[in-house]
Amino acid sequence: MPALGKYKIEKLTVDICQKHINEWAGNLKKFRIVKAYAAKVLDFAMNRRFIQTNPFALVEMPSNLTRKASITNDDEDENFYTREQLIQFLTCLEQENNYKAYALFRLLAFSGMRKGEVLALTWNDLNFTTNELRINKALSRGKDNKLYVKSTKTGIARTIKMDEKRW
């Protein structure tokens, strides 16, 4: 592991490991997996009697709140439209007479559905009488990038009410 490569195994301390865990937590989404791999290496060293204890066993895992705070402090541009930008975008799509694109983006914007859920909709999922959509499946990519239909992310079907705007 590059971050720990400059240390000899017998010189690793809890403080050094804690410092690196805190850095990983701030930079990596799956920092717990990196910590687990590092801990396994030191477990191996313990089994070979190079060290007496595994310092990673004694570190305190940073809370998710710390990680979320560091993410929100970034000065990166936000990756979403403002209300005004969204209205302008949908108006442009509607004027282009690209009804498929308009329907897709309008559903994404106003329903809270995931992209795969919208793409998996069939006519049987729509009820124009009650203005409801039944969400019970999603489209996903599998082996060799092939599309397949799967259950929703939560595995729970749901019904949502849509507004009465007609095309």
pLDDT of amino acid 67? 47
Token digits of residue 99: 């009804």
Look at residue 120 in the predicted model and tell me its pLDDT.
93
Taking 70 as the pLDDT cut, the residues of the chain under it are 1, 64-78, 166-167
For 112, the token pair is 């809270």
pLDDT at 119: 93
Cα 94 to Cα 98: distance, rounded to the nearest angstrom: 6
Distance CA 91, CA 102 (A): 9
Tell me how far apart the alpha carbons of residues 121 and 78 are, in angstroms, rounded to a whole number: 29
d(CA 136, CA 152): 6
pLDDT at residue number 65: 47
User: What are the residues whose beta carbons fall under 8 Å from the beta carbon of 137, sequence distance 6 or more?
Assistant: 117, 120, 149, 150, 151, 152
User: DSSP state, 57?
Assistant: G
Query: Exposed e or buried b for every residue in 133-159, given b needs 16+ CB within 10 A?
Result: bebbbbbeeeeeeeeeeeebeeeeeee
Q: What is the pTM of this model?
A: 0.51
CA pair distance 97, 91, nearest whole angstrom: 10
Question: Residue 121 has what pLDDT?
Answer: 93
Residue 117 pLDDT: 92
What is the pLDDT, as a whole number, of residue 145? 86
Amino acid identity, residue 121? L
